[in-house]
Amino acid sequence: MTMTMTVPASVRPMRNAMFALLGALALGACSSMPKIDGISDSITSVFGSNKPQVEASPASQAAPAPSVDFATSTEVHPEIWPLGQSGEPRDPAIEAQVAALLSKMTLEEKVGQMLQPDINTITPDEVRQYHIGSILNGGDSGPGGELRAPAAEWLKAADAYYNASIDVPAGHAVVPIIWGIDAIHGQDHIIGATLFPQNIALGAMNDPTLVKKADEVTAEEMRVTGQDWTFAPTIAVVRDDRWGRSYEGFSESADRVTEATTAMIEGLQGMPGTPEFLNGDHVIATAKHYIGDGGTDGGRNAGNNLYGEPELRDLFAPPYEAAIKAGVQTVMVSYSSWRGQKMHANKGLITDVLIKRLGFDGFVVSDWQGFAEVPGCSGTDCPASINAGIDMFMGPADWKTTYANILSEVKSGVIPMARLDEAVGRILRVKLRAGVMTEGKPSSRPRAGQYDLIGSPDHLAVARQAVRESLVLLKNDAGLLPLSPKAHVLVAGDGAESLTKQMGGWTISWQGYGNTPADFPHATTIFQGIKQNVEAAGGTATLSVDGSFTQKPDVAIVVFGENPYAEGVGDRPDVDFQPGNRRALKLLQSLRAQGIPVVSVFISGRPLYVTPEINASNAFVAAWLPGSEGEGISDVLFSKPDGAVAYDFRGTLPFSWPRAPDQTPLNVGTSPYDPLFAYGYGLRYETPGNLGALPEAKSEPAILADTLSFVDAGHAMAPWSFALIGSKDAIANVGSLQAPGGALKISTAHSDAQSDLLMASWTGKGSASLALMGANANVDWQANEDMALSLRVRVAIAPTRQVTLAMANGPNKLSKVDLTAALREALGKGWTTLQVRLPCFKSAGADLRTITAPMMLTTAGKLAIDLDFVKVTEGTGASSCPVAAGM
């Protein structure tokens, strides 16, 4: 048969089939030896032929040791790094208290301070028993295992952990616990919180005063629910937009990142050296991920940063210098490596540079199990990380074992006692500065329990202003914008009425999936904002996601873009938007063909190749990930009723915009530099002009012959990755081998000399899914309905309950078939290929044009399989469909 299937062009030769989600499965990836061959090439191509074009920093004053060959060196030379110091002066009274506490604490109490278990894994009683220093809720955990617990439950949990932590025997040191949370774009785990545009948008806004104000709001809303510490801001200088965390960064330019860093930390913590610092209105901030997270090779999450030490200093360190000056109290170490060495064990960069040169005097926290991949370490044991200067272990796989290991390693001297005291002393210093020793229980602190502050009108107004200011106008031919609010407007595209899409990742759940409008009681979609605006002025707005209409509109606003993702799940093999099917483009073209002027509003966590979409639009706006205040967009798109400009655009590009799918890395100040829109670009109403037709990239990168594979030899193929989904739709942590709740575990094994396989076993302790997900991965199978989804499996334990196989159209729409009988039959038969014809998914409700997840295997019973491949093949499967009964 002829292969006429439309396939994602992004399904290309595996550059690195593994994503961070699969980190622990990435055979060889974790243990890679320092590999610096070709490093001079890579630097030349990044910086141009001769002179490294890095942004100037005070660091350049320090003289490099002349004998060092920085092009190849993996050694750290602290002497070339600038000397700095914290903006918060040392307080002799605090230092004396630290010493007094240390002299009083037992060894066990000190070890407990260094641990930060996830609240899903520890009870208040265990906090008391183990003298735990901190807890966190990871991206997918909440009080009582409930991600969507009401605000009052969060505060209640904070009190419970706090009370346990101060419940010590008479005569012992009282050291209250602190709770860390990813308040990334607002207090984003809490229902109803004010959700700001993600950092990339704040970078576009380029308005430090407003960034500061936004994070004052975040601090205040955090105080309401009792968390002490946010793992923000990400101060990555993002150099390759394939990185799935690009949107968490402010910019590709160290200058812009540095400015926003200062503003955000001051907003969260208050001004250092003044009485407002960490007072009742503020919270502890984190500068992350130290260092070079945004500069990994290929933009791979948790990958390898190959820059030389001077570039590390001049390009990636300035935001850290600024953060320390702004008094940041914690620094989180990056999952990534520098020249093959895991940052989590890099004593040179942590102790000798960050602490001894840059002058950081707060405490250093690991990333989530970030120590696990250090050679010689595990998820429960890593003295090398502690000895390198990490003071607190976040999310240990089994914190009780970790506790025992640290304890015995201190006793045996593997971890020197002085190092333990230093680590704990730093944690105590931060706690004293933050006032937690004297502030009382979380619910008794300023702002606590004032639930009407969460998503209050004042707070939402700040977020709405940030949306307005962060929009970047890329095209406005013939001055189509601003639109008249008296017009008849068609609002189309799958982003028009999608809070999920406009929020991005780190929103209630880790990946930003699984949310419903009920989770955002104060939010406004982009369509709702437009509707309110035009109806007030006498116009009309009609929502039509697919662009169909009965009455021809005056203008169409089409809202489209990326679906949410977080961390490595968002990594991409290139920067093409909708390779293969270009669905949004077809919508734009069909509206234009009907003579309707089109305004595109592009939602994305990074610049992507969208030249065809820009050419098919009369006006084009980069809206990033705007958060809860969709009205901010219509504020700018529409004039006042009298035609006067209501709000002009003021955003400028914080990242260079690519002119081709493979044009990455692409960064200002490097050579060659030939972006479609340069860093800093952004049109204004006051300076109109026509862009005209832009050159489209000649051809998309070659499509692999084997485009129909999703899993091969047990490995997910880019852009797909495995997602382990457990209780309450929580998706497993990066590198995790089990679904949240523990009902599904995976591992890899060798099938034979050439090949691996994936072993997946469901324990029957609740429902869990093995799924394939990919950022923007999106396949169109409409023309190929005669084909089948094929899974080559070996069944080790037959299902004890129903097993469904589903495909997804976006986060909330699953179309399921029943695989129970087929799996039961396959038991004892060795390798078997199970096939389900695509029309079966269609009759179960799937839209074959936009499949976003090609496989999701779910059961609440027991099941164990080995998985070899998942492919679309010619459909030789049974002609009847295995209907999923009762689903």
Say if CB 218 and CB 189 are below 8 A apart.
Answer: no
Whole-angstrom distance, CA of residue 447 vs CA of residue 453: 8
CB of 366 to ligand BGC, least distance (A): 10
Nearer to ligand BGC, 344 or 459 (CB): 344
The pair of structure tokens assigned to 263 is: 């503003």
The set of residues, in sequence order, having a beta carbon less than 8 Å from that of 193 and lying 6+ positions away, is 186, 187, 221, 454, 455, 628
Nearer to ligand BGC, 567 or 576 (CB): 567
Query: Can you tell me which of 154, 231, 363, 609 binds ligand BGC, judged by CB under 6 A?
Result: 231
Nearest residue to ligand BGC by CB is 231
Whole-angstrom distance, CA of residue 415 vs CA of residue 407: 9
For residue 351, give the amino acid letter: T
Whole-angstrom distance, CA of residue 807 vs CA of residue 789: 10
Nearer to ligand BGC, 251 or 366 (CB): 366
Size of the site for ligand BGC (CB under 6 A): 9
The set of residues, in sequence order, having a beta carbon less than 8 Å from that of 824 and lying 6+ positions away, is 795, 798, 799
The secondary structure of residue 731, as a DSSP letter, is B
Helices in 389-492 by DSSP H: which ranges?
399-412, 417-434, 457-470
Nearer to ligand BGC, 241 or 367 (CB): 367
Q: Which of 567, 629, 635, 712 is catalytic?
A: 567
CB of 325 to ligand BGC, least distance (A): 22
Whole-angstrom distance, CA of residue 232 vs CA of residue 181: 9
User: What are 863's strand-pairing partners?
Assistant: 762
**Judged by CB under 6 A, does residue 182 bind ligand BGC?**
yes
**Judged by CB under 6 A, does residue 363 bind ligand BGC?**
no
For 777, the 3-state DSSP assignment is coil
CB of 348 to ligand BGC, least distance (A): 22
CB of 288 to ligand BGC, least distance (A): 6
HSE-up (13 A, CA, CB side) for residue 27: 12
CB of 193 to ligand BGC, least distance (A): 16
CB of 300 to ligand BGC, least distance (A): 14
- Vertex 299 angle, CA 69 and 740, to 5°: 125
Whole-angstrom distance, CA of residue 335 vs CA of residue 367: 7
Nearer to ligand BGC, 231 or 679 (CB): 231
Nearer to ligand BGC, 182 or 712 (CB): 182
Go through 613-625 and write b for each residue having 16 or more CB atoms within 10 A of its CB, e for each that does not: bbbbbbbbbbbbb
369 φψ region: left (φ > 0), alpha (ψ -120 to 50), beta (else): left
Say if CB 396 and CB 380 are below 8 A apart.
Answer: yes
HSE-up (13 A, CA, CB side) for residue 290: 33
Which H or E run contains 202? helix 199-205
Nearer to ligand BGC, 367 or 381 (CB): 367
CB of 27 to ligand BGC, least distance (A): 21
User: What are 229's strand-pairing partners?
Assistant: 180, 284
Nearer to ligand BGC, 392 or 660 (CB): 392
Say if CB 176 and CB 437 are below 8 A apart.
Answer: yes
Backbone angles phi, psi at 756, to 5 degrees: -105, 170
Per-residue binding letters, 29-48, with ligand BGC (x by CB under 6 A): --------------------
For 112, the 3-state DSSP assignment is helix
CB of 202 to ligand BGC, least distance (A): 17
CB of 356 to ligand BGC, least distance (A): 25
Nearer to ligand BGC, 545 or 734 (CB): 734
Query: Can you tell me which of 621, 683, 732, 734 binds ligand BGC, judged by CB under 6 A?
Result: 734
Say if CB 17 and CB 713 are below 8 A apart.
Answer: no
Helices in 498-610 by DSSP H: which ranges?
499-503, 526-537, 583-593
567 is catalytic: yes
Q: Which of 266, 367, 409, 818 is catalytic?
A: 367
CB of 229 to ligand BGC, least distance (A): 11
Nearer to ligand BGC, 234 or 850 (CB): 234
User: What are 561's strand-pairing partners?
Assistant: 603
Query: Can you tell me which of 368, 620, 710, 841 binds ligand BGC, judged by CB under 6 A?
Result: 368
- Vertex 451 angle, CA 445 and 454, to 5°: 105
Computed from CA positions of residues 83, 87, 92, 98, in that sequence, does the dihedral angle turn out positive or negative? negative
DSSP letters for 465-481: HHHHHH-EEEEEGGG-P
In the region spanning residues 485 to 524, those forming contacts with ligand BGC, defined by CB under 6 A, are none
CB of 608 to ligand BGC, least distance (A): 23
Show contacts of 383-388: CB within 8 Å, 24+ apart. Answer: 383/409, 383/414, 383/415, 384/345, 385/344, 385/345, 386/114, 386/415, 386/419, 386/420, 386/423, 387/347, 387/415, 387/416, 387/419, 388/344, 388/345, 388/346, 388/347, 388/350, 388/351
CB of 372 to ligand BGC, least distance (A): 12
Per-residue binding letters, 129-168, with ligand BGC (x by CB under 6 A): ---------xx-----------------------------
259 is catalytic: no
Whole-angstrom distance, CA of residue 799 vs CA of residue 55: 59
Nearer to ligand BGC, 139 or 308 (CB): 139
Nearer to ligand BGC, 290 or 577 (CB): 290
Could you tell me the maximum CA-CA distance found in the chain, to the nearest angstrom?
Answer: 81
Say if CB 861 and CB 802 are below 8 A apart.
Answer: yes
For residue 31, give the amino acid letter: S
CB of 265 to ligand BGC, least distance (A): 16
In the region spanning residues 519 to 578, those forming contacts with ligand BGC, defined by CB under 6 A, are 567
Nearer to ligand BGC, 565 or 638 (CB): 565
Whole-angstrom distance, CA of residue 175 vs CA of residue 192: 32
Query: Can you tell me which of 159, 228, 297, 367 binds ligand BGC, judged by CB under 6 A?
Result: 367
Q: What is the binding site for ligand BGC (CB under 6 A)?
A: 138-139, 182, 231, 288, 367-368, 567, 734
What positions carry a catalytic annotation? 367, 567
